[in-house]
Chain A
Amino acid sequence: MTCERFASGKSILHSADPRVKILLAGGYAVVTVGLGSLEGQVLALSGSLLLVMAARLSLKEVFHRLLVVNLFILMLWFILPWTTPGTGVTHFGPIMITAEGLDLALSISLKCNAIILANLALLSTSTIFSLAHALAHFRVPTKMVQLIFFSWRYFHVIDSEFHRMKQAIKVRGFEPGSNLHTYRTYAYLIGTLFIKSLERGERVYKAMLCRGFDGTFWLLSHFRLHQRDIYLAGFTSAYLFLIIGVEWINPCR
């Protein structure tokens, strides 16, 4: 299962320090969520588009990701315009479409896509391991970082185990349907998966004990802050301040 689809690449964002990227992604999300003016939201969206360009991600893949998220947004477009009280624009029979509802749906679409694109460019260009490593530098509790590390490390193992079991039931002629047999089969499949995971967890712990594990999380490699990281941070923060300025000038809707 290839999940970290955007993590390999050679762009400036791929080689940037994950610590800087986490801070920038956090800042970008916080600023964007608070935006109330259309100008600010459009600026935020164009900024994250620029970041995606800078990361040189495959636009087809990015579009595919956005498509899934925007299905939820589409649902909001169908519901919000006629459930939001306000000035009517047009009528469809008894249903009244309000300007406020359209505004709200538009603002959610812009903000949501802006944050997602920024996260794609800033976070998905790192591997989970380097993100967890960066979290350790931010003084996130060791237990949490270890949990993230182990979960991600064994996610692939368990996933392949699960696929093997699924193939096994398929080979035996299993057809999923809405019946108790299907549910029982899935339940046993998942139960077996839990037991296998627990047993593997115990084996892993024992193996780690043999190698002198005492709960400490050693950081062997350290990140180095390069000149280009500072440029990246500088440019992005300047852009964020620009957005805040535009937001400040334009009255909230």
Chain B
Amino acid sequence: MHISEGVLSAPVLLAGGAGTILGLAIGLRCMNVREIPKVALLTAAFFVASLVHVPIGPSSAHLVLNGILGILLGWTAFPAIFIGLFFQAVLFQFGGLTTLGVNTLNMAVPAVIMGALARPALRSNSGLFAMVMTAIAGAGAIIMSAVMVAGSLALSGESFVAVSKLIFVAHIPIAIAEGVLSVLIISFLLKTKPEVIKGNMHSRAAKLGLVSIIIIPILIGICSQAHAHRVNLFAWYDGKMILAEGYFSGGNKAMDSAILVYDSGGKEVFHGMTDKKGEFSFKPPGNGEYRLVLEAGMGHRAEALVSVQDLESGTAAPEAGQAGPQTAERPELKGTVTLTGTEFEQILDSKLNPIKEQLLRLAEQGDRVGFRDVVAGLGYIAGLMGLAMYLTQRKRKK
């Protein structure tokens, strides 16, 4: 569940740190001075319990228990998780100091949300409903954390998408085990010392709205970024050859990637590799529509359609990206002027194609940077708000 040092990108680290500062400020504000020893001892207990390895099938996993932490502590789960991770970073070098913010956020936000979800149910006297909600909270907190961990990785670079998927899948059995354990632990606490759960419920949930406004966009951003990377293929016909160029949304050329060419009947007519510039060319065997598929490893795949007509006279029919097939119009003025429509079109296309490509590339790059900036910006806003809240709290104390 911990992300190590040196993996995440700076905007992700900053956004995580800012979110955690905000959460800590709220958590500390919710905590009364007289609750300090209690919260501290629960923190210590969670730290101890998280060292327990529970057998799951053939392997075992250590407990996280952030769902229960949320149920018992509410917003105070933020400082509790922060301290637990701080100890682990300093003592065992698990996680790390630069990733402390992101790691805390990834575990504490699910804790707070799931806690707020299960508490009303536990307060009500319906036994079964309460237990169902507890199971959802226990398992849901792990699933949510796994999604957030995967998201922070995916947001840091498209290379991590496969790793993040692996992490998510690995957490599913842990989530089920935690769900079962949460129900057992909470029902034990309800039987032995119900005031632990029923007693400490102040109106903490009311403040949930405020922060979810700030934190949830970050979450959504993290999730949506995972789909933002893709590979593009541009292909056109220059009269003799079909030319194609593949590159990733970041601007890198798709070098040495396999390209398959299918004809309109779906039959493979050619397969080859792109060169060092990400370019590819081949001579079409005849007129017709060709579908080019670029495979750049691990789900990076792009398609483009090129229609080849008039193989001899050389009519160009450019197609960009995933746009649908479009046949070049038959020139009406053919033969009447020196510059025929076909030639004119051909010249225009040869001039415009690179520009079109450049434009699309720029648009995508702009998109990408803008998005990261937004996430980082949200982080800054959250951090500043946290600072403001901290200062007002200090002022109030004086």
By a beta-carbon cutoff of 8 Å, the part of chain A in contact with chain B is 3-4, 25-26, 29-30, 32-34, 65-66, 68-69, 72-73, 75-76, 79-80, 82-88, 95-96, 98, 100-101, 104, 107-112, 114-116, 119-120, 123-124, 128, 131, 141, 143-144, 146-155, 157-159, 162, 176-178, 180, 182-184, 186-188, 190-198, 200-202, 204-205, 208, 215
Contacts and interface: CB of A to CB of B under 8 A. Distances in A.
Given A33-B98, A190-B52, A201-B41, A83 B297 contact: yes
20 contacts: A3-B87, A29-B98, A85-B252, A87-B276, A100-B159, A109-B6, A124-B91, A147-B80, A152-B44, A154-B44, A183-B181, A187-B184, A187-B188, A190-B63, A194-B45, A201-B42, A204-B37, A205-B38, A208-B37, A215-B33
Interface in B125-172: 157-163, 166
Residue of A69, A104, A204 most packed against chain B (CB within 10 A): A69
Given A30-B98, A151-B43, A128 B181 contact: no
- Chain B contact residues (Cβ within 8 angstroms of A): what range? 35 or more
Contact of A104 (B44, B54, B159, B393): B159
Interface in B45-101: 45, 47-49, 52, 54-57, 63, 65, 72, 79-80, 83, 86-87, 89-94, 96-98
Contacts of B166: 79
Interface of B is mostly: helix
B10 interface: yes
Nearest to B247: A85
Contacts of A159: 44, 48
B28 A124 contact: no
Nearest to B162: A83
Nearest to A33: B98
B192 interface: yes
A155 B48 contact: yes
Contact of B48 (A29, A162, A182): A162
B40 interface: yes
A202 B37 contact: yes
Give me the 3 closest cross-chain CB pairs, A-B, nearest first. A111-B6, A150-B40, A187-B184
Contact of B177 (A119, A183, A198): A183
Contacts of B13: 33
B248 interface: yes
Contact of A150 (B7, B37, B193): B37
Interface of B: 4-7, 10, 13, 24, 28, 31, 33-34, 36-45, 47-49, 52, 54-57, 63, 65, 72, 79-80, 83, 86-87, 89-94, 96-98, 157-163, 166, 177, 180-181, 184-185, 188-189, 192-193, 196, 231, 248, 252, 254-257, 276, 296-298, 300, 390, 393-394
Contact of A195 (B40, B196, B300): B196
Contact of A85 (B28, B80, B93, B231): B231
A180 B177 CA distance: 10
Contacts of A200: 41
Given A112-B6, A193-B45, A204-B41, 12 more contacts: A4-B91, A29-B5, A32-B5, A65-B92, A68-B93, A83-B298, A96-B256, A112-B5, A119-B89, A128-B87, A141-B28, A187-B181
Contacts of B54: 176, 182-183, 186
B38 A83 contact: no
Residue of B37, B52, B180 most packed against chain A (CB within 10 A): B37
A178 B57 contact: yes
Contacts of B38: 198, 201-202, 205
